[in-house]
Amino acid sequence: MREITYAEAIREALKQEMQRDPNVFLLGEDIGAYGGAFKVLKGMLDEFGPERVRDTPISEAAIVGAAIGAALMGLRPVAEIMYMDFLPIATEQLVVQAAKMSFTSGGKLRVPIVVRTQYSLGRAHASQHSEFFPVWYMNAPGLKVALPSTPYDAKGMLISAIRDDNPVLFIECGLLYRNKGSVPEEPYEVPLGSADVKREGEDVTVVAVSRVVVEALKAAEELQKEGISVEVVDPRTLSPLDRKTITDSVKKTGRAVVAADDHKTGGVTAELTATIVEGAFDYLDAPIVRVASPDVPIPFSPPLEKQYMVWSDDIVKAIKEIV
């Protein structure tokens, strides 16, 4: 199978869905002639024109608000928020309005919007352009939260998100844009709410999120040389969360490490740990270990930022504590 980058997989998903369904359109800052801040949308304006690839003012609330209005009128907008750090400006629109409309209307209203955003941790973009806080949006019933870690998942999950009748927050990772992987040319769906076992193992389960899945796989490869068999589980979506796949893995291995890029206190690792405790406590042979970022703002200095981030060495250390 051919290999393409994570960014190319996202572009291909958007292109194929726009070719399939004329109701799908894009809106966001600098997505037209500029092709997006990270060139993910390069060439889309030339192919689909300004009616379906719409540059917007610098107003995140307006971008998401316009997407909601368009969705209520029968369109399927894909809105881009350039950095995840800017998403809180649109949180009222996304969480208070879009996520609740189906519930409060008794199912009469549908808001089929996708909000794409990315986090730039690891690119020395400082604390105002590197934040990662998906757990905020796990706490919004009615909103789906997707975080692909591979090009294959990026394409399939984005197609599923666009076809979904519910609002979906689609969180990409800037450091993954150039990563390559096998991706089919034809359209396909990866179901939202379905975790994936990225690597089978017997001794310990690592549940990792987004970029950290790549680091967990590196750790598993390194520990294999020492005779430690690591299973890596990627939730892929945090809401809905596939609790069964996670707990089934821990029941098999008896040990768990949970790893993500966000802060440790009240972060994704806390919810994933609670999931394991509730569903597989009696199977644990050792305490669960969490690997996450420290509770400080993200440093601008590249050496300090590297120290701040979760790497394979941190996961190896955590595994060795309990195996």
User: Which positions are annotated as active-site residues?
Assistant: 129
What is the Cα–Cα distance from 171 to 58, expressed in whole angstroms?
20
Distance of CA 93 to the CA centre of its chain: 20
Q: Residue 310 is which amino acid?
A: V
- Separation in Å, CA 164 to CA 74, 111, 192, 290: 13, 9, 9, 32
What is the Cα–Cα distance from 249 to 276, expressed in whole angstroms?
10
What is the Cα–Cα distance from 72 to 104, expressed in whole angstroms?
14
Q: Residue 137 is which amino acid?
A: Y
Which H or E element spans position 65? helix 60-72
CB 168 within 8 A of CB 190: no
What is the Cα–Cα distance from 176 to 196, expressed in whole angstroms?
18
Compute φ and ψ for 318, nearest 5 degrees: -65, -40
What is the Cα–Cα distance from 208 to 260, expressed in whole angstroms?
6
